[in-house]
Structure 1
Amino acid sequence: MMSNYTLTDLFVGQVARIQRTFTEEDVHLCNTLTREFNSVYKREENVWKPHFDGPIVPGLLSEGLITEVISTKLPGTACVLLQKEIIFCHPIYIGDTISAELQVIDINHERNWITQKVSCYNQNGKEVVKGQVVVFLLPNENNR
């Protein structure tokens, strides 16, 4: 469900979140699309042990969850991602349920930009991704 916020509807402190469980099929589709066939995404234990507890999910999928929040919830309107600074704090494993939360931390009315803090947590409450994004809301009569 799209939120469709205009720049004047947004406020510092506003939060939106979304949740998703990543599957082997998600990883396979991502790898096929990007042509990244790194063995850390497969069930071959000798590759990822002792560094990880299982095959990991590509960072691109968690970034996709973040952009889903942007495009459907906050602001949920026509916009362009201008900048992202993302830190992958802990691995995301196949089967993990990730909650992506974005919080508006700055609004630049002159440029139609919003800056959002990014936090992603797994089903155990451990922060797995953190950072910040800057989004440009396309100007229209409501965003000026």
Structure 2
Amino acid sequence: MGYLLTELSIGQTAQLQRTFTEADVLACQVLTHDYSPVYNPDEEVWRVNYERPIVPGLLAEGLIHQVVSEKLPGAACILLQKEVIFYHPVYTNDKITAELEVIDINKERSWVTQKVTCFNQVGNEVIRGQIVLFVLPKED
């Protein structure tokens, strides 16, 4: 389904939730070859700064991309820019909600800017930022 550029409006929002498991972290490590010990429950290094092993940032950001591809716009688009800040760690087994809000539409360029807010199951904001998408026209 998805939205065409002309069907999007400022203030429009969409969100998804996901719980990141240890299996998700392992799959991400295999794909990215990022084997940092801060993701591994058997390592001691994460205990210095964190309550438990953290989820790779790339994996946590994947939820943002899932909202884009499934909900807003949910149509063919290309990510042009992404700026995010991690305010709080995402831990294994955290339930994260990613919410995107359309904050600007440039019809001449077919660009849509969205505010990104992600928070965990206790309401702590874990990621904030914005993305710019090029929304492709629908094929006839």
TM band (smaller chain): over 0.9
Q: Helix, strand or coil for the counterpart of 1:17?
A: strand
Q: How many angstroms does 1:61 deviate by? A: 1.0
Contact 1:17–1:101 under 8 Å retained in 2: yes
Question: Which residue number corresponds to residue 57 of structure 1?
Answer: 55
Question: Which residue number corresponds to residue 117 of structure 2?
Answer: 119
The residue type paired with residue 31 of structure 1 is: Q
Residue 89 of structure 1 pairs with residue 87 of structure 2 = yes
Matches within 5 A, 1:19-98: 19-44=17-42, 46-98=44-96
Report the TM-score when normalising by structure 2: 0.96
- C-alpha root-mean-square deviation of aligned residues, in Å? 1.3
Contact 1:45–1:54 under 8 Å retained in 2: no
Q: Helix, strand or coil for the counterpart of 2:44?
A: helix
Q: Which runs of 5+ in 1 are unaligned?
A: none
Q: Helix, strand or coil for the counterpart of 2:123?
A: coil
Between the aligned partners of 1:116 and 1:110, the Cα distance in structure 2 is: 17
Q: How many angstroms does 1:23 deviate by? A: 0.2
Q: How many angstroms does 1:49 deviate by? A: 1.6
The residue type paired with residue 87 of structure 1 is: I
Between the aligned partners of 1:48 and 1:130, the Cα distance in structure 2 is: 23
Q: Helix, strand or coil for the counterpart of 1:32?
A: helix
The residue type paired with residue 17 of structure 1 is: Q
Runs of at least 4 residues of structure 1 off by over 2 A? 139-142
Contact 2:4–2:137 under 8 Å retained in 1: no
Report the TM-score when normalising by structure 1: 0.94
Between the aligned partners of 2:59 and 2:96, the Cα distance in structure 1 is: 10
